[in-house]
Structure 1
């Protein structure tokens, strides 16, 4: 049974308006009224409705997290970790999946930016050049550095260094390094991975070899890509003893691992594979990967957002979190 302030008013004999002021901690009321009303509320098991309270005060104890694809293992892990941190801080979370659609993402921001939530965490699908409509809401970006107005905090892994680590590891283990990326890779995070890989290859006397496949990392098809992959790897193996593949993310790395195995290539004797994310999938399959420090990313993200909400000191607006290479059986 839901207990209302009317039930408490009836039990204590005070007016509904007095009960409301006591429970919301606003307005004038006597000490005696406060003690009796709070005691009655406790005995009756009264719980405030956060949605109703937020509608009255114009501030909900809720944080919205906009995510491009909740089925993506890396994004899901980010959401779960942020949700846990925010819950401990007294905030509930609303998860909004934009399905990698910039228009959907913008619409979410427009709707949420009018007092429905206390703050936003955006794991963005938008390209760097895109801008959101003006809104006054504490916001933290994860994994993107969009050119937006002041007052928005951006937290991301050191994607450039991840590309450097992958290239050096593949070269140091005796492979000819190539990088494979997917359609729709024009995010600041992906661009930095590609740049780190390319610059490192050049610094070590190799021409960067970047291959883009037509599918996104979520729409990969083993049969559709089989002939193209086989042709490219065969050509490279005719020129080099071993080929090392740096994949833009762990989803693509897992796909390439399956593709190589299906076509009969020996991993890592002929084809070495490095992913990016350090996801549970890469650990399960034994794929070498550039690990993103999800716990630190989420800690920095949530602590900054809470500081913005409470109007206390925040850290630097743009923060880069170190990455590390986890070597497994694919290299």
Structure 2
């Protein structure tokens, strides 16, 4: 593998001159630049990106911090971020925080040490002060961290209300809700959307709301207990697709037929929702657009370009399938 010294020797110039050409820093005559570029081409020289990032204090890299890479929503989001970043010439470092404050801070420190140009983050634990201390552009996605921070989310409450009304229009007379983690903004909004529709119904009970923690196994356990305690329930709105799939599995274990005896609807629109048996009715988020828009905004901020709008609340869409 050729080194920068080999390039300098072939071009008949100093290592410092090659460095100036590579980093486009300082004056280099046109003839000299052409000789260096020709030497680089002949030797197929690849610059040491780590060294270049240390020199320039930039790395053409962005960080992406997500709370749970096991949830299929986030790999699909990461794919959109990676696709878009690549078009702009940036690489992506993916970090899985597990919603752990200490782990999250450790990732922030590591990303700073690697001179990332900016960060996209989905977090319910990060604070505005942490963002300010980074001193690089940050875009929040899926969850709002603080007012004024560039943010892209979806119509969580609207989608939840639509899902619940849909079950009622399908003839469900006792509708339960499997909610996401306490304190997580989008989980609270989806629960609020459910409550908006059912709170005045004579049959509504607080015990119809159970915690699924955005996790399939937790949802299975919660649904088993829910349906044993309230066998009259004939509809379930789960706050994400993974929990809805868990609810379908729990119903199957109890011998309850979906959708004949129990209608189930999820939220997210992950690809997995279209291959379950039965296929899952869901509130679809524009996942790819979320990642694409967040990355485009971040790149504009990194390049100090005019952004204009910095807060987006994207619409959602109900897709009916066989689970209802």
TM-score for the superposition, normalised by structure 1: 0.89
Q: CA deviation at 1:114?
A: 5.4
Name which of 314, 325, 328 aligns with 2:321. 328
Native 8 Å contact 2:224 2:250 kept in 1: no
Which consecutive unaligned segments of at least 5 residues does structure 2 have?
none
Q: Note the C-alpha offset of 1:131.
A: 5.0
2:215 — aligned with what?
217
CA contact (8 A) 1:140 1:305 kept: yes
Distance 1:32 1:118 in 2: 33
RMSD: 2.2
8 Å contact from structure 1 (residues 50, 61) kept in 2: no
* 1:201 aligned onto 2:192: no
2:298 paired with 1:300:
no
Distance in 2, matches of 1:56 and 1:24, equals 9
What is the CA distance between 1:311 and its match in structure 2?
0.5
Residues 213-265 of structure 1: CA distance to partner in whole angstroms, max 9, x if unpaired? 3766154274x55751332341x25xxxxx11000111110010011012111
Of the candidates 245, 256, 259, which is equivalent to residue 236 of structure 2? 245
Once the two structures are overlaid, the 10-residue window that deviates more, 113-122 or 280-289, is: 113-122
When residues 244 and 18 of structure 1 are mapped into structure 2, their CA distance, relative to the original with a 3 A threshold, is: same
User: 1:160 aligns to what SS in structure 2?
Assistant: helix
Equivalent residue number for residue 270 of structure 2 = 279
- Relative to structure 2, which stretch is displaced further, 269-278 or 313-322? 313-322
Label 1:141 to 1:214 Cα distance change in 2 as closer, same or farther (>3 A): closer
Does residue 269 (structure 1) correspond to residue 260 (structure 2)? The answer is: yes
Separation (CA, whole Å) in 1 of partners of 2:167 and 2:152: 28
Taking structure 1 as reference, are residues 208 and 323 closer, same or farther at Cα in structure 2, changes over 3 Å only? Answer: farther
Cα distance in structure 2, aligned partners of 1:225 and 1:207: 18
Query: Which deviations, in whole Å up to 9, do the C-alpha atoms of 1:255-310 show, x marking residues without a partner?
Result: 10011012111211211000111112211110111101012111210110001000
Tell whether the 8 Å contact from 1:157 to 1:292 is kept in structure 2 after alignment. yes
1:173 aligns with 2:164: no
- Whether the 8 Å CA contact 2:224–2:251 is kept in 1: the answer is no
Give the conservation status (yes or no) of the 8 Å contact 2:99–2:124: yes
Normalising to structure 2: TM-score of the pair? Answer: 0.91
Please give the per-residue CA displacement for 1:117-168, whole angstroms capped at 9, x wherever unaligned: 00101011427x77526221111111111126x4x31101111111111011
1:1-331 equivalences in 2 (<5 Å):
1=1, 3-113=2-112, 116-126=115-125, 132=130, 134-147=133-146, 150=148, 152-176=149-173, 177-182=175-180, 184-202=181-199, 207=204, 209=206, 210-213=208-211, 217-220=215-218, 222=220, 224-225=221-222, 228-234=225-231, 236-237=232-233, 243-285=234-276, 286-331=279-324
